[in-house]
Structure 1
Amino acid sequence: MSLLYPTLCLCAYGLFSNLRPSEPFLTAYLMGPDKNLTEAQVVSEIYPIWTYSYLALLFPIFLATDYLCYKPVLVLQAISFVVTYAMLAKAQGLRAMQLLEFFFGLATASEVAYFSYIYSVVEPAHYRRVTAYCRSVTLFGSAAGSLSGQLLLTVAEVRLVHLVWATLASAAVAFFPPWFLPMPKRSLFFHKKPEGAPERQCDYSSALIDKVDNKVPLDNQDVATVSPSSEETNGSCGFPEVLKMLLADFLHCYRRGPLLAWSLWWALATCGYFQVLNYAQALWEKIRPSSEYDIYNGYVETLSTLLGALAALLAGHLPVRWTVWGELVLWALSLLMAACVLVMVTLGSIWLCYGSYVLFKATYMLLITVATYQIASNLDMPRYALVFGVNTFVALLLQSLLTLVVVDSAGLGLDLFTQFYVYGGYFAVISAVFLFAGLCKIATRQHSDQEVLSRSPADTDGT
């Protein structure tokens, strides 16, 4: 029962908080008669607020989650969802929608508490099973929300505002489960286990990965040793001690070359992935206006979610020697992602745009899952949370800079088509970086092999 009760509460919360019928139609709703906002306002003045808010709140929420022992942050996230969709249903005007994006950024940053909570109340032997349950139900909730929204729109012919009310009702149901969760008595940094008790790994990596839709649990067997910083004093730690611990672990983790390479791809690709996802609906609205045609965004999001989950599951079974060919695979598939983005914007067909989006998202899901395992396999301490947190923070920092320069009205404020040309070129640059890295790695390995062969006869003669 100690395992079943919190798992059921978390699954109920994950299901209803991700059941959002209005999500695939947000841009159409904001630009429609209910809100009557312009494309420039939505793209250049409203959506960037989420990026900036998420970046600003990520690290404070990361620390607050550990200090407050998870549950209060889950409650905060539930409240933020209710406020977000209540404002989306009733509030009017540009400033109100910008404030809404701030609350959604707060809810997004608070996702760190969702998966990390379970690691503080169950035994390590149950991590994989409970994580699978929670992740599966969040995936199901997301896919069911997109599908139900599309069916309500096309079959029942409801108005878009009714989808927002349905999402608000789901958020209201999700508001209650976090209150019934038991309060953990320990955490990773501020509230540690008493000395002599077996150490259990409590990390936030799953929550941070979940923001980018990666649904593969980490293997606790990948952790070999623990750094001295994670074995220091027992009991509660002060803020300065926690910061010293994080800095020591940061320097220890990023000394490894392979981890640094995969983390670089993680940060660069996640930045571009967030940008494409944030503004894809606006591009679809530009190509096929919802005021004139039927739109099928819900079907597209449902399909892309399910294929992304399948790609994540298949990632662990690919017969690729990632240590040898990893950079070249990243080159080829990053180039494919660049091609998908360019197809979305150049050919002017909504069906090709939809199909390219699905392929783009599935490819990212495949690679980010591989990156997760490769990073985990190069860690020698239970500091998954720190590494994935740093990678996500760098991705958000790059995304904020890209948004400020390309999207924001304070910067260039480029039109949507030009923006997507920039995003396509961005992924092409990522591809070129890893092509160069892959060729250098092959050349270095061949040079090393030749040196070994050239030394072999001399060694033989000497004997």
Structure 2
Amino acid sequence: NDCLPCHAGWVGSTVPLCIYGFCSMMRPIEPFMTEFLTGTYKNLTTEQVNRQVYPVWTYSSLVLLIPVLLVTDLLRYKPVIILQGLSHVAASLLVLVGSGVRSAQLAFFCYSVAVAADVAYFSYIYSVVDPRFYQRVTSYVRGAMLLGYAMGALLGQLLVSLVGVSLYCLAAVSLASVSVALITSFSLPMPETSLFLQGTYSPQQVSSVEDSCDSEGRNFSTWAKSVSPVRRMLRLALDCKTCYSSMAMLFFCMWSAMGKCGFYQVAGYVQLLWVHMQPHNFTAYNGGVDGVSTLSGAAASVAVGHMSLEWSVWGELVLGAFTFLIAGAIFLMDLTDNIWISYSCYFFFKTVYMALTTICTFQIAKMLNRERYALVLGMNSFVGTILQSVLTGIVISSKSLQLTIILQFVVYASYFAAMSLLFTARGVYTVLHTKRSAGGDLAERATNLPEASCL
């Protein structure tokens, strides 16, 4: 293992990556973006924001995800993380100084580039850290991102409510934070190889890796140059088939993709719902709710990780049951006239979603070889973005139903209710099938006992 292509220590790569994740997510303007765009600073209408601005990042992410996934592997992660930092800076700068619909659309296009590059951020650590540190550094990296987002939201809320700082200043603070993230990205160590290509070593090459670090470097370099792009794509397709051949894996990936679609639709448009409920309240507690719910979701994720439950048996049923509660929370969030009830429902929605997506993540990880993490993460994100684009096109596009914000959230709640039915049915089947199989094994052992005693 000493010759594996990774750095000797995990601290040197994890610390700057955590700083990058924290600063890139600490954007105080985020919970107040709708108010900023529709207020006196940008003077856009809620209709323009809903139908012309916000959908841009959904459609752009769909187009960018697969190319970014492939380029991420080719460029070995760090350049794509730097690109993500540049995209965050460009988006924040356009939000701060731009004006008009076109400028806002360009800002959200830059944001979509950053979202598509998430696969590089989450896969980078596995290419530079020894496998025995994977669980530890994954928790640190995800924790840094969640903490950064929560701190940004809470800081924004405190500055607006207690100090009376303008939303323009929040946008400036956001720009400063993502600029620090960009500077930090340059200090990340460069991986020596990629996870996808590493997974396509021949047995002879794997043997040479174990024998000598120097020969590994030469063999890999020669092999990588000799493999055509067509063969790499074929290998990628075969890996996809292998990863999704398990029905259990398929259902957890389905929830991951479908849940991401629903979460981003609700989280992305909930500010418009709150503006509809309180059209003249520019001291709303959006930031506080977003920050506290993020911290609560992080705590729930940690708690789920320590629960002693046989997730392979009960996991799908748990997903179905709690997805039903999410659907109910969205219905209530949408139909109530009380902003505090709506805030509470969003708090519950976000907390439960983050716990459920953690279940999916570690169940998927258990079934995968480590070199396929980035592949499955990228494909799940791609499928989720396709679903999100379809849903956006149906309920929001100016050429389709053009539903009001209230009816949009009725659709989102119905979407989660349909997910709940699917996964509850699958969960009941899994539990009954497991119990039946266990009963059959016991009966078989009981039948064989007399024979065993006679021997």
- Pairwise TM-score range, normalised by the shorter structure: 0.7 to 0.9
Residue 243 (structure 1) aligns with: 233
Q: Which moved more, 1:31-40 or 1:166-175?
A: 166-175
Which of 215, 238, 242 is 1:252 aligned to? 242
Mapping of 1:38-49 within 5 angstroms?
38-49=45-56
Q: 2:263 matched to 1:273?
A: yes
Residue 394 (structure 1) aligns with: 383
Residue 424 (structure 1) aligns with: 413
What does the per-residue CA deviation read over 1:407-455, in whole Å, with 9 as the maximum and x for residues that have no partner?
1212211110000001111111111112222343455556667877998
Residue 273 (structure 2) aligns with: 283
Which of 342, 347, 353 is 1:358 aligned to? 347
Residue 425 (structure 2) aligns with: 436
Counterparts of 1:82 and 1:457, CA distance in 2: 67
Q: Aligned with 1:120: secondary structure? A: helix
Shift of 1:15: 2.2
- Using a 3 Å threshold, how does the CA distance of structure 1 residues 124 and 325 change in structure 2: closer, same or farther? closer
Q: 2:263 matched to 1:261?
A: no
Counterparts of 1:180 and 1:381, CA distance in 2: 25
Mapping of 1:158-307 within 5 angstroms?
158-190=165-197, 196-198=208-210, 234-236=223-225, 237-289=227-279, 291-292=280-281, 294-307=283-296
Counterparts of 1:319 and 1:397, CA distance in 2: 35
- Using a 3 Å threshold, how does the CA distance of structure 1 residues 185 and 374 change in structure 2: closer, same or farther? closer
Structure 2: gaps (5+ residues): 1-7, 212-219
Shift of 1:325: 2.5
Contact 2:119 2:374 in 1 (8 A): no
Q: 2:333 matched to 1:321?
A: no
Contact 1:153 1:160 in 2 (8 A): yes
Shift of 1:460: 9.2
Mapping of 1:36-185 within 5 angstroms?
36-185=43-192
Counterparts of 1:460 and 1:263, CA distance in 2: 41
Q: Which moved more, 1:257-266 or 1:358-367?
A: 257-266
Contact 1:185 1:191 in 2 (8 A): no
Contact 1:67 1:191 in 2 (8 A): no
Shift of 1:116: 2.5
Shift of 1:8: 3.1
Residue 394 (structure 2) aligns with: 405
Counterparts of 1:180 and 1:109, CA distance in 2: 22
- Using a 3 Å threshold, how does the CA distance of structure 1 residues 162 and 109 change in structure 2: closer, same or farther? same
Counterparts of 1:198 and 1:307, CA distance in 2: 44
Which of 32, 36, 44 is 2:39 aligned to? 32
TM-score normalised to the size of structure 1? 0.86
Q: Aligned with 1:180: secondary structure? A: coil
TM-score normalised to the size of structure 2? 0.87
Contact 1:275 1:399 in 2 (8 A): yes
**AA in 2 matched with 1:5:** G
Contact 1:190 1:238 in 2 (8 A): no
Counterparts of 2:37 and 2:299, CA distance in 1: 32
What does the per-residue CA deviation read over 1:280-300, in whole Å, with 9 as the maximum and x for residues that have no partner?
1111111123x3352011111
Residue 301 (structure 2) aligns with: 312
- Using a 3 Å threshold, how does the CA distance of structure 1 residues 185 and 461 change in structure 2: closer, same or farther? closer
Contact 1:24 1:146 in 2 (8 A): yes
Structure 1: gaps (5+ residues): 200-230
Counterparts of 1:427 and 1:21, CA distance in 2: 29
Counterparts of 2:384 and 2:19, CA distance in 1: 30
What does the per-residue CA deviation read over 1:24-64, in whole Å, with 9 as the maximum and x for residues that have no partner?
10011111011111111111111111111111111111111
Residue 403 (structure 2) aligns with: 414
Contact 1:258 1:378 in 2 (8 A): no
RMSD: 2.7
Q: Aligned with 2:27: secondary structure? A: coil
Tell me the percent identity: 41
Residue 218 (structure 1) aligns with: none
Contact 2:315 2:359 in 1 (8 A): no
**AA in 2 matched with 1:122:** V
Counterparts of 1:272 and 1:167, CA distance in 2: 26
- Using a 3 Å threshold, how does the CA distance of structure 1 residues 198 and 84 change in structure 2: closer, same or farther? farther
Q: 2:362 matched to 1:373?
A: yes
Counterparts of 2:389 and 2:265, CA distance in 1: 10
Q: Which moved more, 1:232-241 or 1:272-281?
A: 232-241
Contact 2:119 2:378 in 1 (8 A): no
**AA in 1 matched with 2:234:** K
**AA in 2 matched with 1:337:** I
- Using a 3 Å threshold, how does the CA distance of structure 1 residues 436 and 156 change in structure 2: closer, same or farther? same
Counterparts of 2:151 and 2:428, CA distance in 1: 44
Counterparts of 1:288 and 1:460, CA distance in 2: 72
Residue 205 (structure 1) aligns with: none
Higher-helix-fraction structure: 2
Q: 2:349 matched to 1:337?
A: no
Q: Aligned with 1:119: secondary structure? A: helix
Shift of 1:68: 1.0
Contact 2:196 2:372 in 1 (8 A): no
Shift of 1:318: 2.5
**AA in 1 matched with 2:209:** A
